[in-house]
């Protein structure tokens, strides 16, 4: 059901903030979107999706039962998919079905997540990345046209991280030219796949392939699990929803078990390896991990996804902080806007800067991903290890940083930030999951660490290393870098910290081996340091990439846009330098005086950014329908919206709840 929202005048405090803006907001929006044409395209897509009000709910999702919430999510997913299929893909181009604009516009329909998200987010990319041309011709058009709806079922009850340990089996039967899928134990049940519980009729399944009596490790299979007409699970399939969780409430994450369930031979996704009719196994991939390609793709897209979520949280918290007034600074003076407190600016301006850092880095990462994939298609897999290391650490650090900054945004909104109507709890719980799914934080940083240790050893022996670790060639054999408080100096210090930490890991591993440990134990004992080293490497990549991209993208900007973009990037460098003072003292010549100076300059920068704060979040150009926030709407009518949302609580539907007569009154009368 559609809800009509009253149009209100902009709150005078927000109106005054907007008058203070000294830069061209649209120019900054264009930079964030990736160009003027991209902004226009985004607006056009948003207009198509949002101007008919289909996304608005009379009753907030959180006030519905689990079943109602799911049914409402399906209703809206169907409306949204229809718009995507019929109107939006014409604008983005069919090949850009994974366009972040489509993903972001979907947020207007779902405070939480659409049950179809994994269909477009993982099922379709797996078809594209893992199928032969014949398989693609068979399934992709149906999937894009929503004739089949898919999920990605890899994780099992007993194993998520360790893919090689998955237990589901796919045993080839040459007589019938079929694979037999089986779940031999309770721990082998698929668990978690989004959209699997109630929505999907197909899924991609990762299973151990057995043929001619031999196990060939994990491979991907496409499996129909429900009847297309009745939607009933097919015989041999046990499928359901896994139950309530912290977020993802409308995503029907599911479980799935197979009882000797048969699929045709052609349902093994055979781009990188195949099973012939007679059962002969033929591997064509030049790299053993190409079947993990969908995960790498999602890790890459998550960096931009984190920028988006952070920009939403920052917009909410900064608009609210401009309207909220609290505490007298001096007797009898009006209470200041809480945005005037430097402590509030410290919590929030880094969120704007980080959203920019992630957005600019994500575009660069996406281009790198595309280039490496183009090489892989030509048979050259040389750059895959670097891409894996890069996408792993950027996924880990961007999701982790976004999560803690979003929590800061909630803290910055005091009690009202705890209200679901602020939308901050939804954003937080969505982002909390990203730190775990598609590879847990620690696990992915340890993957990057493997690459870094090898790179360090190469650099140590005088060999050139790949571009993202090229700093090792300069710093691997240097003890401490000379501190220099310019942006170049700070970037070099981050590289020196990374090189110093990686070197320390290598020495720890070697020392442990010398004292009698085998390599595995020496590595294991060093993993706390290895995680820290990979994080440091990621920070070095982030500061360097953000800075370079900011300079490149503002080359033809107006002077004031250059200034404000520059200020944000400097803020980002200083914030992290101050967060890492212990490391700087260890790996650079920084002195206490240098750090005191840095702190003072950081505080001055907060003050310099203050007048532009509201306009900087306006530049994210997030429509109210996408923000879903009583605290963050463009007009800043915070108190009216909080009250309006409170009226929607089902508990306010009747003046006296029946439980009064049933329990409270008897208790009061001593009759219970």
Ligand X SMILES: Cc1cc2nc3c(=O)[nH]c(=O)nc-3n(C[C@H](O)[C@H](O)[C@H](O)COP(=O)(O)OP(=O)(O)OC[C@H]3O[C@@H](n4cnc5c(N)ncnc54)[C@H](O)[C@@H]3O)c2cc1C
Ligand Y SMILES: CCCCC/C=C\C/C=C\C/C=C\C/C=C\C/C=C/C(=O)SCCNC(=O)CCNC(=O)[C@H](O)C(C)(C)COP(=O)(O)OP(=O)(O)OC[C@H]1O[C@@H](n2cnc3c(N)ncnc32)[C@H](O)[C@@H]1OP(=O)(O)O
388 is a site residue for ligand Y (CB under 6 A):
yes
Given 438, 535, 549, 625, which residue is catalytic? 438
> Would residue 386 show up in a list of annotated catalytic residues for this protein?
no
- Residue 249 touches ligand Y, criterion: CB under 6 A: no
Q: How far apart are CA 349 and CA 613, in angstroms?
A: 8
Out of 295, 571, 584, 590, the residue judged to bind ligand Y by CB under 6 A: 295
One symbol per residue from 419 to 438: x for binding ligand Y (CB under 6 A), - otherwise; what is it? ------------------xx
Does 436 engage in binding with ligand X (CB under 6 A)?
yes
Nearer to ligand Y, 301 or 362 (CB): 301
442 binds, among ligand X, ligand Y, none (CB under 5 to 8 A by kind): ligand X
Residue 238's Cβ-side half-sphere holds a number of Cα atoms within 13 Å equal to 13
DSSP string, 510-578: HHHHHTT--HHHHHHHTHHHHHHHHHHHHHHHHHHHHHHHHHHHTTTS-HHHHHHHHHHHHHHHHHHHH
508 binds ligand X (CB under 6 A): no
Q: 10 Å Cβ neighbour count for 105?
A: 25
Q: What DSSP element (H or E) covers 192?
A: strand 190-193
Q: Residue 497: which of ligand X, ligand Y, none does it interact with, CB under 5 to 8 A by kind? A: none
- Whether the CB-CB separation of 590 and 3 falls below 8 Å is answered with no
Question: Cα(358)–Cα(469) distance, rounded to whole angstroms?
Answer: 19
What the block records as the tokens of 5 is: 């929202």
Per-residue binding string, ligand X, 18-57, x by CB under 6 A, is ----------------------------------------
What size, in residues, is the chain?
672
Q: Which of 23, 152, 369, 456 forms a contact with ligand Y (CB under 6 A)?
A: 152
Which residue of the chain is nearest ligand X when measured via CB?
160
Helix H or strand E segment including 134:
helix 133-144
Measured from the CB atom, the residue of 56 and 381 that comes closer to ligand Y is: 381
Pairing of strands 202-211, 214-224: antiparallel
Q: List the one residue from 366, 437, 634, 639 that touches ligand X (CB under 6 A).
A: 437
Q: Quick one: what does residue 295 bind among ligand X, ligand Y, none, with the CB cut-off 5 to 8 Å set by partner type?
A: ligand Y
Please return the burial class of 672, using the count of CB atoms within 10 Å of its CB with bins 0-12, 13-18 and 19+. Answer: exposed
439 sits near ligand Y (criterion: CB under 6 A) = yes
For residue 238, the Cα-to-chain-centroid distance in whole angstroms is 30
Q: Is 155 annotated as a binding residue?
A: yes
Residues 181 and 197: their CA atoms lie apart, in Å, by: 19
Cα separation, 500 vs 494, in Å, equals 10
CB of 440 to ligand Y, least distance (A): 7
Site for ligand X in 176-205 (CB under 6 A): 192-194
Q: Which is nearer to ligand Y, 385 or 489 (CB)?
A: 385
Whole-angstrom distance, CA of residue 70 vs CA of residue 78: 12
User: Does 442 interact with ligand X (rule: CB under 6 A)?
Assistant: yes
Helix axis angle, 527-553 relative to 384-412, nearest 10°? 80
Q: Does 248 bind ligand X (CB under 6 A)?
A: yes
* Options 30, 72, 92, 155; binder of ligand X; rule CB under 6 A: 155
Q: Of residues 73, 102, 118, 561, which one binds ligand X by CB under 6 A?
A: 118
What is the dihedral sign for C-alpha 71, 73, 79, 81? negative
8 A C-beta contact, residue 430 and residue 111: no
Burial 196-214 (b: 16+ CB within 10 A, else e): bbbbbbbbbbbbbbbbeee
194 has binding-site annotation: yes
Q: Which stretch binds ligand X (CB under 6 A): 220-228, 310-318, 439-447, 562-570?
A: 439-447
Sign of CA dihedral 120, 123, 127, 130: positive
Beta bridge partners of 184: none
CB of 95 to ligand Y, least distance (A): 13
Based on the shown chain and the rule CB under 6 A, indicate whether residue 120 belongs to the binding site for ligand Y. Answer: yes
What is the binding site for ligand Y (CB under 6 A)? 98, 102-103, 106, 117-118, 120-121, 152, 154-155, 160-164, 194, 289, 292, 295-296, 301, 305, 384-385, 388, 437-439, 443, 447, 450
Name the binding residues for FAD: 155, 194
Looking at the annotation, which residues are catalytic?
Answer: 438
What is the binding site for ligand X (CB under 6 A)? 118, 152-155, 159-161, 192-194, 248, 253, 433, 436-440, 442-443, 446
């Amino acid at each position: 059901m559609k809800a009509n929202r009253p149009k209100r005048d902009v709150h005078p405090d927000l109106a005054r903030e907007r008058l203070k803006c000294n830069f061209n907001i649209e120019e900054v929006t264009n930079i964030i979107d990736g160009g003027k044409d991209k902004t226009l395209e985004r607006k056009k897509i948003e207009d198509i999706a949002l101007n008919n009000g289909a996304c608005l709910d009379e009753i907030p999702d959180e006030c519905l039962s689990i079943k109602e919430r799911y049914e409402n999510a399906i209703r809206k997913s169907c409306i949204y998919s229809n718009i995507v299929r019929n109107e939006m893909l014409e604008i983005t181009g069919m090949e850009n079905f994974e366009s972040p604009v489509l993903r972001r516009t979907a947020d207007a329909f779902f405070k939480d997540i659409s049950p179809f998200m994994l269909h477009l987010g993982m099922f379709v990319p797996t078809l594209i990345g893992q199928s032969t041309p014949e398989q693609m011709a068979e399934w992709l058009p149906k999937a894009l046209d929503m004739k089949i709806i898919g999920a990605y079922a890899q994780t099992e009850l007993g194993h998520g991280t360790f893919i090689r340990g998955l237990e589901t089996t796919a045993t080839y039967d040459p007589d019938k030219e079929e694979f037999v899928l089986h779940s031999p134990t309770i721990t082998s049940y698929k668990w978690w796949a989004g959209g699997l519980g109630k929505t999907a009729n197909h899924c991609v399944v990762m299973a151990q392939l057995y043929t001619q009596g031999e196990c060939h490790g994990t491979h991907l299979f496409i499996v129909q699990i429900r009847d297309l007409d009745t939607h009933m699970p097919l015989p041999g399939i046990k499928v359901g929803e896994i139950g309530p969780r912290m977020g993802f409430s409308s995503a029907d994450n599911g479980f799935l078990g197979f009882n000797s369930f048969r699929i045709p031979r052609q349902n093994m996704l055979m781009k990188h390896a195949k099973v012939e009719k007679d059962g002969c196994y033929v591997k064509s991939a030049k790299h053993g991990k190409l079947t993990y390609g969908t995960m790498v793709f999602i890790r890459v897209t998550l960096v931009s996804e984190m920028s988006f979520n952070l920009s939403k949280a920052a917009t909410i918290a900064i608009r609210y902080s401009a309207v909220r007034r609290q505490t007298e600074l001096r007797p009898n003076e009006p209470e200041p806007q809480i945005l005037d407190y430097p402590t509030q600016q410290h919590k929030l301006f880094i969120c704007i800067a980080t959203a920019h850092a992630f957005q600019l880095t994500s575009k660069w990462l996406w281009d790198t991903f595309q280039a490496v994939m183009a090489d892989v298609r030509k048979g050259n897999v040389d750059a895959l290890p670097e891409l894996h290391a890069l996408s792993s650490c950027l996924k880990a650090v961007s999701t982790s940083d976004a999560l803690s900054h979003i929590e800061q945004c909630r803290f910055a909104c005091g009690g009202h930030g705890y209200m679901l109507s602020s939308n901050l709890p939804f954003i937080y719980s969505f982002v909390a999951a990203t730190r775990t799914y598609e590879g847990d934080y620690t696990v992915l940083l340890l993957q990057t660490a493997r690459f870094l240790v090898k790179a360090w050893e190469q650099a140590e022996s005088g060999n050139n290393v790949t571009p993202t670790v090229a700093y090792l060639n300069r710093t691997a054999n240097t003890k401490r870098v000379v501190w220099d408080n310019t942006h170049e100096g700070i970037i070099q210090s981050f590289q020196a910290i990374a090189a110093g930490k990686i070197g320390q890991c290598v020495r720890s591993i070697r020392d442990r081996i010398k004292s009698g440990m085998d390599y595995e134990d020496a590595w294991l004992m060093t993993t706390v340091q290895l995680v820290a080293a990979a994080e440091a490497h990621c920070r070095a990549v982030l500061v360097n990439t953000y800075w370079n991209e900011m300079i490149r993208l503002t080359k033809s900007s107006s002077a004031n846009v250059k200034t404000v973009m520059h200020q944000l990037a400097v803020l980002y460098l200083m914030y992290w330098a101050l967060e890492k003072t212990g490391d700087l003292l260890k790996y650079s010549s920084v002195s206490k005086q240098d750090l005191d100076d840095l702190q003072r300059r950081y505080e001055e920068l907060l003050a310099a950014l203050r007048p532009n704060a509201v306009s900087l979040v306006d530049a994210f150009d997030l429509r109210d329908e996408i923000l879903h926030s009583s605290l963050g709407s463009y007009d800043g009518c915070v108190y009216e919206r909080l009250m309006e949302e409170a009226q929607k609580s089902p508990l306010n539907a009747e003046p006296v709840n029946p439980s009064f007569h049933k329990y409270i009154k008897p208790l009061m009368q001593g009759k219970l």
